[in-house]
């Protein structure tokens, strides 16, 4: 599997679960824009064999390199991002942002629930080359999903969807007909898509060197062990990077902003 094969597979899996993504993509294309992705984001549980390192392996094998670690104490998450050195020559190579839930920091019942899911994994599952889009490898019922949701939106999302891209992110700095995230947001909201308002429409500032906004995840039908229920799937993100004093674009992430963006899949938003 080449780099292009991997990225195509991730995009196919993501758009199948995220009806809005192809429509927003078409919205930009209709203006003559060619979309370049800033990063793709994946989620997992910090459990042996399926944590950040396991999810990163297929990317490392294809040239991506680890760059920086982050910690989100309130959400019990760790994250790391990976950069492909070929990005300078080929800007279509996105960064990869992988986070993992620190299961030990949850309550004992929630941790036991997650361990029950992980116990269903077939031997060698975490070594699959297609792990980043392997999907949900366990059976889970909706009541279990709801119980996890009470404690951690992130835990519930991974339980429902398993291993796949959580969001793609448009590099807004490469859009020619839209100047800044406010213009991007107006276009997307004007077409009827709901934006994540947690912490304001635009997270981060030029001083942070990174501004981000995102849609709200689509609710889609998901098959649980006890029936089909509508739950939030994936969202689409927009990132505008600013230059460092060196003149180079900032490539990292801003934890305070990422913390707000995690709410884009929050099923509890209407409560
Ligand atoms: Ni992101």
DSSP summary character for residue 214: E
The per-residue pLDDT for range 139-149, each reduced to its tens digit, is 999 999 999 99
CA of residue 229 to ligand 1 center, whole Å: 26
CA of residue 19 to ligand 1 center, whole Å: 18
- Hey, what's the torsion of the CAs at 11, 12, 17, 20, to 10 degrees? 60
Share of the chain above pLDDT 70, in %: 98
CA of residue 227 to ligand 1 center, whole Å: 31
State residue 268's pLDDT score.
Answer: 62
Residue 259 has pLDDT above 90, yes or no: no
CA–CA separation, 20 vs 215, rounded Å? 9
H helix or E strand, kind and range, residue 86: none
The per-residue pLDDT for range 188-232, each reduced to its tens digit, is 999 999 999 988 999 999 999 999 999 999 899 999 999 999 999
CA of residue 250 to ligand 1 center, whole Å: 15
CA of residue 21 to ligand 1 center, whole Å: 14
The candidate with the shortest Cα–Cα distance to 169, out of 219, 221, 210, 222, is 210
- Hey, what's the torsion of the CAs at 247, 250, 251, 255, to 10 degrees? 170
CA of residue 209 to ligand 1 center, whole Å: 15
CA of residue 5 to ligand 1 center, whole Å: 21
CA of residue 42 to ligand 1 center, whole Å: 9
Residue 271 has pLDDT above 50, yes or no: no
State residue 18's pLDDT score.
Answer: 94
CA of residue 215 to ligand 1 center, whole Å: 11
> In the block, which residue shows the tokens 């209407």?
270
Tell me which of 90 and 158 has the higher pLDDT.
Answer: 158
State residue 267's pLDDT score.
Answer: 67
Buried b (16+ CB within 10 A) or exposed e, 252-266: bbbeebbbbbbbbbb
The candidate with the shortest Cα–Cα distance to 128, out of 268, 250, 232, 6, is 6
CA of residue 169 to ligand 1 center, whole Å: 6
CA of residue 167 to ligand 1 center, whole Å: 7
CA of residue 123 to ligand 1 center, whole Å: 31
The per-residue pLDDT for range 107-155, each reduced to its tens digit, is 999 999 999 999 999 999 999 999 999 999 999 999 999 999 999 999 9
- Computed over every residue of the chain, the mean pLDDT equals 95
Longest dimension (CA), the chain: 56
State residue 270's pLDDT score.
Answer: 44
């Amino acid at each position: 599997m080449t780099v292009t094969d991997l990225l195509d597979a991730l995009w196919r899996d993501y758009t199948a679960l995220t009806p809005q993504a192809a429509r927003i993509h078409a919205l930009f294309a209709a203006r003559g824009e060619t979309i370049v992705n800033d990063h793709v984001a994946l989620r997992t549980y910090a459990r042996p064999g399926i944590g950040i390192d396991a999810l990163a392996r297929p990317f490392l094998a294809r040239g991506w390199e680890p760059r920086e670690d982050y910690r989100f104490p309130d959400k019990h998450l760790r994250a790391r991002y990976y950069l492909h050195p070929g990005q300078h020559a080929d800007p279509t190579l996105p960064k990869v942002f992988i986070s993992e839930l620190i299961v030990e920091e949850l309550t004992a019942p929630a941790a036991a629930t997650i361990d029950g899911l992980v116990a269903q994994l077939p031997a060698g599952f975490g070594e699959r080359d297609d792990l980043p889009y392997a999907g949900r490898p366990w059976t889970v019922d909706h009541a279990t999903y709801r119980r996890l949701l009470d404690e951690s939106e992130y835990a519930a999302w991974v339980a429902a969807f398993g291993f796949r891209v959580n969001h793609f992110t448009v590099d807004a700095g490469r859009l020619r007909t839209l100047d800044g995230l406010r213009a991007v947001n107006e276009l997307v909201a004007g077409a009827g898509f709901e934006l994540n308002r947690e912490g304001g429409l635009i997270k981060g500032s030029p001083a942070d060197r990174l501004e981000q906004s995102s849609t709200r995840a689509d609710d889609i039908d998901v098959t649980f062990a006890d029936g089909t229920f509508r739950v939030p799937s994936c969202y689409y993100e927009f990132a505008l990077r600013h230059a460092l004093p060196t003149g180079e674009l900032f490539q990292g992430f801003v934890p305070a902003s990422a913390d707000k963006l995690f709410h884009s899949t929050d099923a509890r938003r209407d409560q």
